[in-house]
Amino acid sequence: MRTDYHVHMAETGNLDVDYLRTYITKAKEEGIEELGISEHAYFFQETRDILSNPWVENRRTLDFEIYQKMFDEAAKAELPIKMGIEMDYMPGKEKEMEAFISSRPFDYVIGSVHWIDEWGIDLAIYRDEYEKRDLKHVYQQYFDRVVTLAESGLFDFVGHIDVIKVFGYRPGDEEFLQEQYKRAAKALAKTDTCIEISTAGLRKPVGELYPDPTLLQMCKDESVGIVLCSDAHKPDHIGYRYEEAIDLAKSVGYTEVHTFSNRKRQLHPIG
């Protein structure tokens, strides 16, 4: 089965059914059987108590009711779509995140790490920070957050779990790197939190799938489930180079993917 649950709309168009139809059409063309929209939570006024900084506030332009209305109208039109959200995991804000998540009818919730304190680790404007910092310390900080994200039990799956490699910076110590991978995999297994295999990294400077094959193998060894995603920010990204994602999944032994509905999951054979 082919799924794409990591899809965004707000940056390139309106949150309305007409624009949604362009995503659904592209998904059908790519053989995607289940499509979900998971807008970045920071766009919504209701998440200000979770994450707030100048970069985010410049983009916080929506009320959640606009998002909900799109899905309500899609349901009336019998359009096949799942309602998700991508939440920036912020350590110490677990109560606020839980309050936001639990009060809304999501089919699934993605937890992602984009920020180390005030540093947006995958933003091009902050890329030079990698040149100024000790990379082992950066990776330690990043995976500290991945571990506590998993331990929170708030999320159905983790988005782009090794996005810290986005600009190609690595600590250069393979043993250290595998230690970070291992503790992340074990934390995910403990709370039965899935990860995505994402083709988004193929569109980024690093030019690689998320996650690294070694990390994915560790997750498989710990029985961590997977979802197939594109992290699409426009319709053309949906299903992008999916065969490579499927090949990676199979190469480490995965034969099934997860789907979500009303925060409940099901297993399906990989397409």
Residue-wise pLDDT for 230-258, tens only, equals 999 999 999 999 999 999 999 999 999 99
pLDDT at 213: 98
Determine the Cα–Cα distance for residues 122 and 165; give it in Å rounded to an integer.
9
End-to-end CA distance of the chain: 4
pLDDT exceeds cutoff 80 at 264: yes
Determine the Cα–Cα distance for residues 222 and 186; give it in Å rounded to an integer.
7
- For residue 13, what pLDDT band results from cuts at 50, 70 and 90? confident
Mapped onto helix, strand or coil, the DSSP state of residue 112 is: strand
pLDDT at 10: 86
Looking at residues 193-217, what average pLDDT do you find?
Answer: 98
Domains of the chain listed by start with CATH number: 3-269 (3.20.20.140)
Looking at residues 30-43, what average pLDDT do you find?
Answer: 96
Tell me phi and psi for residue 232, to 5 degrees: -70, 135
Question: Strand 119-120 to strand 115-116: parallel, antiparallel, or no bridges (unpaired)?
Answer: antiparallel
Looking at residues 193-210, what average pLDDT do you find?
Answer: 98
pTM attached to this predicted model: 0.97
Looking at residues 136-164, what average pLDDT do you find?
Answer: 98
Question: Strand 226-229 to strand 256-261: parallel, antiparallel, or no bridges (unpaired)?
Answer: unpaired
Residue-wise pLDDT for 57-97, tens only, equals 999 999 999 999 999 999 999 999 999 999 999 999 999 99
- For residue 11, what pLDDT band results from cuts at 50, 70 and 90? confident
- For residue 14, what pLDDT band results from cuts at 50, 70 and 90? confident
- CB 13, CB 244: distance < 8 Å: no
Rg of the chain (C-alpha set) = 17
- For residue 1, what pLDDT band results from cuts at 50, 70 and 90? confident
- CB 95, CB 102: distance < 8 Å: no
Looking at residues 105-119, what average pLDDT do you find?
Answer: 98
Determine the Cα–Cα distance for residues 149 and 151; give it in Å rounded to an integer.
6
Q: How many residues does the chain have?
A: 271
Residue 4 vs residues 8, 26, 169: alpha-carbon distances, Å:
11, 11, 27
